[in-house]
Amino acid sequence: MIFFLIPILVGAFGWCLVWALSIMPFKWPYLADKWIGQINLAKLIPEITDKDPFEAMKPVINDKLDDFFRHKLSAKLPMISMFIGDKTIEELKEVFMEELALLFPLLISEFSTHLNKDLQQQWELKFRAIIQHKIIKASMPFRWVAFVLGAIWGAVIALILPLI
């Protein structure tokens, strides 16, 4: 009876040991937080640092401001449209473009900062559980190996035990 019980118990111990090591949460969150903290979204968007992306967007912004001053503003505030002519619209667009050129790098920086924080929150909420499930599934062969090795070791112990 002991000859069968010892290998099974030692094998089960090996199984549980590998299972516990694969699901222990003490290292996984730390490593994930470390890896996610190293992601710099400004480097993922090279246009931000290499060249001025605002210059490439100027025509689109200019068209949108022109549409705003000529159509939307006059629709919302008809009294103002009577006092604003083409020259005033061009001057207003120029002032807005200068201000947007100053704000754009700050907006991109804030956006990437908040995106990094959101990425960390998404890790906390979704990906950690998925990865832990994958780790448990991937460790299944190791658990079986640990069980078999433990059973062999237990059999050796059961054979040597009567000799002592």
Domain segments of the chain: what residues? 2-163
Which residues, 6 or more positions from 29, have their beta carbon under 8 angstroms from its beta carbon? 128
Please list the rounded mean pLDDT of every run of 10 residues in the chain (164 residues).
79 82 62 64 54 76 88 84 83 90 82 74 71 78 86 83 77
User: What does the pLDDT read at residue 51?
Assistant: 57
Quote the CA–CA distance of 143 and 164 in Å, as a whole number: 31
> For the chain, how many residues are written?
164
Is residue 73 within 8 Å of residue 81, measured between CB atoms? yes
**pTM strictly above 0.75:** no
For tokens 């949108």, what's the residue?
A: 64
- Name the strand (E) or helix (H) holding 78: helix 78-83
Is residue 29 within 8 Å of residue 162, measured between CB atoms? no
Is residue 115 within 8 Å of residue 39, measured between CB atoms? no
User: What DSSP character marks residue 39?
Assistant: -
